[in-house]
Amino acid sequence: MTAVDLFENPAPHPEPDPVDSRPPAVIELRRLTRSFPGEPPVEALRDADLRIELGEYVSIIGPSGSGKSTLLHILGLLDRPTSGDYLLDGVATGTASEKVRARLRGGRIGFVFQSFHLLPHRTVLDNVLLATLYSGVPRGERRDRALAALERVHMSHRLDFLPTVLSGGERQRVAIARAVIASPHVLLADEPTGNLDTSNSADVLDLFDELHRDGLTLVVITHDATVSSRAERRVRISDGTLTEVA
């Protein structure tokens, strides 16, 4: 599906840099700022520049209050910047309609959260299938795609189990299957090991390594240095400012 197919009124592309012949990044922030009203206004993000290429595994690390949640909301198209540009696959999203942003969110971005967000009274398979209702997966492919996603995260032996009888690590694996079922361009993970013990955390991070080797673009937002160190590239956020970690 092309950008023209996806968008009813596609946002204009920024003027290309004549020196930069690279293909569009999966994620690109250009001098992006997010401010909240107050006296004085609170700048949660300050002139943020970030480029994440296809297939990269990037961690964004920072303490509570550093701007991590604001950045996640921007990257996930749950909020809009005050100024600057956010390009997803080369398409400017800041001026896109909410309908268009919802389509992008459902079809190109996978989310993994600290708290799993699984429906407790639906089976593992049902929880993953439900994600296809808003991600654009054709009806005839949904079950096969769900089974393949659960196989990919090593949970095909738990199809008929309820989340309430699974370990925390297993629940997070189901959440990851739900996130990847629509073959997103990028997986956004927000403190994905925050509710897990050391052993289950290691298992989830091993799974991220597998997904990365398969070519998936991963962005993991965390306060945990151990989680951050697993990524091939690290970015620190402090007081709303992004800096690369050597």
Long-range contacts of 233-236 (CB under 8 A, 24+ apart): 233/56, 233/57, 233/58, 233/59, 234/58, 234/59, 234/60, 234/61, 235/50, 235/58, 235/59, 235/60, 235/61, 236/60, 236/61, 236/62
pLDDT (0 to 100) of residue 221: 96
Residue 105: HSE in the Cβ half-sphere, 13 Å Cα cutoff: 19
More confident residue, 39 or 172: 172
Q: How far apart are CA 190 and CA 111, in angstroms?
A: 8
Contact 80, 106 (CB under 8 A): no
Higher local confidence (pLDDT), 26 or 17: 26
Eight-class DSSP state of 12: P
| pLDDT per position as a tens digit, 23-66 | 889 999 999 999 999 888 889 999 999 999 999 999 999 998 89
- Is the per-residue pLDDT at 2 higher than 70? no
Distance CA 12, CA 14 (A): 6
Please, what's the b/e burial string for 49-66 (b: 16 or more CB within 10 A of its CB; e: otherwise)?
Answer: ebbbeeebbbbbbbeeeb
The domains found in the chain, sorted by start residue, are 3-245 (3.40.50.300)
Torsion 109-112-115-117 (CA) sign:
positive
Instruction: For residue range 100-136, list pLDDT tens digits in order.
Output: 888 888 889 999 999 999 999 999 999 999 988 877 7
Neighbours of 161 (CB within 10 A): 15
Which of 99-108, 153-162, 212-221 has the least mean pLDDT?
99-108
Lowest mean pLDDT among 35-44, 153-162, 219-228: 35-44
